[in-house]
Structure 1
């Protein structure tokens, strides 16, 4: 495996790791040449780099964000076409769909059939990057844009509860990327990725009206268990990401949805209910 980045953590210096690190700036004057050399023998190119909306709040400009997300995608695409790679994968975002439904209305289902409605510079730039990379499909390359749910971790509670809507566990994101990379064939297009529960469309719509009822139906006891832990579950959810297309295409399965949290809580409760082990002491008599 070859990794291209501006810098690398020291632990990647381990020669036992099967990773070739190429330090390069894709956006520099000679970046295209360096990138082409790096991926010359690669079958699959995964484009992860880019600025996020968080970077805007930390002082980055919209121009920086656009250049980092869109211009980098153009250069990666050009290098991939020149190197005649088999597949390109872009880390995109479900943010391209814009805001969800109003409180009390059926939740918006975010899937590949839904028209994008980006409402911020980051989402707009990612949608543009998708379009740029899609041009490589004309060169016979499989081009896959993974619209990833949010996996930024603020705290454990929000990280898990977000999985009711657009949340994606980081490890599920890695699983999805790996599944797309190793698949024998993947149809070009966009695919939504989330750590979503296996809900019907009717249940996904109903999340916008009575989230607790849907949870109780699919994860009995979860709402009460959350209350005991002071987890504030939302009464309504405005968006629900459906990852079923990717699941069908490459066998991806979100293994870290709220169902896993429920299983962990049940295991903890079971351990607490178990009676303490009785120990017996044998008297020793000294003659």
Structure 2
């Protein structure tokens, strides 16, 4: 299949492009920044360029990963988010239909599910989040524009029948968190595999699974995240004493973390439930919290990427 991959120079794109080729697809990469997998340098906000790429390359499927993200809020005005995340998505949807493409995968974010109250962890228990959670009230322009783009996907599918799978991805960025500094970057990432993270490799694999299954599915939205070891029955204790819950599930976790000078979370305020993507797409992340502990037990390499110096190529 001839696949247009937007955001091909970014963190996800650089991992996804070679996986697509390994799966037998021809990849046309498009990004505002040049890169080894980017054939077309330009913005999805440029309608004429998107249309030209679709028709000149005979695009059959689209993976739309290009976006302005949460860290970009301090660098770009709101209008830029609307131009790229909303108008750019509409350009791709309409040009895909015009060019005869038969599927589109849209990279969305779990961030749009997080209200200010959820972020502030005001509830007495951990918030359990799945695809039916709501009402959705994104707290910043990133979440607002991604939510708007999801609605465009829903509308276009309903009106034109284009098969679309939306993946609300949890965290997979390699750099340090730009708002929390209490723990080292690696420690925080390891903790997040309990409730809100996946590897970039698993994220790429989820996109390929969505691309393969989109025509059979028609339209669906899935959370893409490492499977949590917790259940809904744990939500009260997770907020009060997460370490006790972790100790029951992983008796040696505290010792393994302490040996690295790491800390387990004392409280967990939200949990992403990724069970729907397993039942709907047949996809399950290969790296979870148990895999991280298994690597630590044998002194192996930690199975996720961390790069405190990473800067988006577009910057």
User: Into which bin does the TM-score normalised by the smaller protein fall?
Assistant: 0.7 to 0.9
Q: Secondary structure of 1:90's partner?
A: strand
Deviation at 1:131, TM superposition (A): 0.6
Aligned to 2:94: 78
Aligned to 2:172: 151
Deviation at 1:196, TM superposition (A): 2.9
Matches within 5 A, 1:27-176: 27-28=45-46, 30-38=48-56, 40-42=58-60, 44-57=61-74, 59-99=75-115, 100=118, 102=121, 105-115=124-134, 116-137=136-157, 138-153=159-174, 154=176, 155-176=185-206
Provide the C-alpha distance between the structure 2 equivalents of 1:29 and 1:140, rounded to a whole number of angstroms: 21
Provide the C-alpha distance between the structure 2 equivalents of 1:39 and 1:186, rounded to a whole number of angstroms: 26
- Contact (CA 8 Å) 1:2, 1:38: kept in 2 or not? no
Q: Secondary structure of 1:231's partner?
A: coil
Provide the C-alpha distance between the structure 1 equivalents of 2:124 and 2:255, rounded to a whole number of angstroms: 24
Deviation at 1:240, TM superposition (A): 0.4
TM value normalised by structure 2: 0.76
Q: How many residues align?
A: 259
Provide the C-alpha distance between the structure 1 equivalents of 2:42 and 2:247, rounded to a whole number of angstroms: 50
Unpaired runs of 5+ residues, structure 2, are 1-26, 177-184, 301-315
Aligned to 2:210: 180
- Contact (CA 8 Å) 2:227, 2:284: kept in 1 or not? no
Deviation at 1:216, TM superposition (A): 1.7
Provide the C-alpha distance between the structure 2 equivalents of 1:180 and 1:215, rounded to a whole number of angstroms: 32
Provide the C-alpha distance between the structure 1 equivalents of 2:243 and 2:259, rounded to a whole number of angstroms: 15
- Contact (CA 8 Å) 1:157, 1:231: kept in 2 or not? yes
Aligned to 2:279: 248
**1:219-273 Cα deviation digits (max 9, x unpaired):** 221122212222122211111011100011122112111111110111129xxxx
Provide closer, same or farther for how the CA distance between residues 187 and 247 of structure 1 changes in structure 2, counting only shifts above 3 A. farther
- Contact (CA 8 Å) 2:194, 2:229: kept in 1 or not? no
> RMSD in angstroms over aligned alpha carbons?
2.2
Deviation at 1:39, TM superposition (A): 5.7
Unpaired runs of 5+ residues, structure 1, are 13-19, 270-287
Provide the C-alpha distance between the structure 2 equivalents of 1:147 and 1:139, rounded to a whole number of angstroms: 22
